[in-house]
Structures are given as structure tokens and as C-alpha cells.
């Protein structure tokens, strides 16, 4: 399943990028798009994706250094536009099945707008 998904170029985020399905946009430029998550896990939950298809952090290469650096340095502005910059926020990217990655187009979750629970529920 994981291998098949990784090899498939077609993802829901590809459809959003091509304008085939709508999104609630937060920010867009030539290289990246940010939009609100359809099923928010916090009061504010935005996703940031590069327009280039990279399946996950595992598939990022040195060719992607500038693009992913750009994406990451835009996160504070996107958090501000989404309304969660004031008191801090969390940035997460899931990789593969153990992390629960569902969409195989690299994306960074920005979670905030409220106090978030700790990362380790076992503690
Ligand atoms: P992940 O589990 O890390 O692959 O995250 C995928 C995220 O994409 C989940 O949080 C979903 O709620 C979100 N998602 C799926 N489809 C859409 C959509 N059409 N618009 C916005 N967010 C979506």
C-alpha cells in the first residue's frame, strides 16, 4: 500500500494545485500553497505544500534545498495569516505508515490557535 501510494503521482493535493477541487487558501506564491486542513486537529490547522510533487521527506533531494528552504521560511508568515502566530504553534510532517501519512505529496501541518497537548501521550 505504502509503495503503491508513493509511486502514484495523483493525490488530492495535486487536484487542489490544478484547481480541480477547491481549498480554503491561506497563502500562495510561485512555489508553494497553504490552505486550511479540511479536518482540523486544532483550532487552527493549515497545510503547506510545495507545487512540485515530492512524496515525503524521504523523497526530498538536494535539488529541493531551495524550494523546501523557501517553504520553511514562509511558515511564520503563513501562521500569522492563519491566525496562530501569537502564542506559538506546532509544525509537523508525517512520513509513511507509522506516522499516519495519508497524502503522498509532502506537506507541513501548522497547528495552533490553542494550547496543544504534549507530543508524547505515554508520559
Ligand atoms: P497526513 O495524514 O499527514 O498525510 O495529512 C493529510 C491531511 O490532509 C489530513 O490532515 C487531512 O485532513 C487533510 N486533507 C485531506 N483532504 C483534504 C482537502 N481536500 N483539503 C484540505 N485538507 C485535506
**Domain membership flag for residue 89:** yes
User: Would you state the pLDDT for residue 123?
Assistant: 66
DSSP 69-115: HHHHHHHHHHHHHHT--TT-EEEE---SGGGT---SS--EEEEESSP
User: Would you state the pLDDT for residue 5?
Assistant: 43
**Domain membership flag for residue 85:** yes
- Ligand 1 midpoint to CA 91 (Å): 14
**Domain membership flag for residue 23:** yes
**Domain membership flag for residue 60:** yes
The Cα–Cα gap between 33 and 48 comes to 6
**Domain membership flag for residue 63:** yes
**Domain membership flag for residue 100:** yes
What's the burial of 52, exposed, middle or buried (CB within 10 Å: 0-12/13-18/19+)? middle
Ligand 1 pocket test, pick from 11, 35, 37 with the greatest ligand atom count within 8 Å of Cβ, gives: 37
Tell me the residue range of the domain where 19 lies.
Answer: 3-112
Q: Ligand 1: which atom is nearest the Cα of residue 101?
A: 4
Q: What is the mean pLDDT of residues 49-74?
A: 97
Mean pLDDT across the chain: 92
The enclosing domain of 80 has a CATH number of 3.30.428.10
Question: Which are the contacts of 105, defined by CB distance < 8 A and separation ≥ 6?
Answer: 11, 13, 14, 49, 53, 54, 55
Q: Into how many domains does the chain fold? A: 1
The Cα–Cα gap between 99 and 27 comes to 26
**Domain membership flag for residue 8:** yes
- Nearest protein CA to atom 3 of ligand 1, as residue: 101
Question: Does 36 qualify as catalytic in the annotation?
Answer: no
- Ligand 1 midpoint to CA 107 (Å): 9
Cα angle 111, 116, 121; round to 5: 115
**Domain membership flag for residue 42:** yes
Which is more confident, 68 or 2?
Answer: 68
C-beta of 23 in contact with ligand 1 (< 6 A): yes
Q: What is the pLDDT of residues 81-122, one digit of tens each?
A: 999 999 999 999 999 999 999 999 999 999 999 999 998 877
Q: Could you say which DSSP state residue 118 is in?
A: P
Amino acid at each position: 500500500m505504502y509503495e503503491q501510494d508513493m509511486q502514484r503521482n495523483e493525490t488530492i493535493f495535486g487536484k487542489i494545485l490544478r484547481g480541480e477541487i477547491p481549498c480554503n487558501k491561506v497563502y500562495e506564491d510561485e512555489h508553494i500553497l497553504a490552505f486550511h486542513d479540511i479536518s482540523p486537529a486544532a483550532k487552527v490547522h493549515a497545510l503547506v505544500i510545495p507545487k512540485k510533487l515530492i512524496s515525503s521527506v524521504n523523497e526530498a533531494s538536494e535539488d529541493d534545498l531551495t524550494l523546501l528552504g523557501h517553504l520553511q521560511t514562509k511558515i511564520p508568515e503563513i501562521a500569522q495569516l492563519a491566525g496562530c502566530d501569537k502564542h506559538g504553534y506546532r509544525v509537523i510532517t508525517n512520513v509513511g505508515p507509522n506516522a499516519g501519512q495519508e497524502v503522498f505529496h509532502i506537506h507541513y501541518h501548522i497547528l495552533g490557535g490553542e494550547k496543544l497537548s504534549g507530543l508524547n501521550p505515554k508520559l
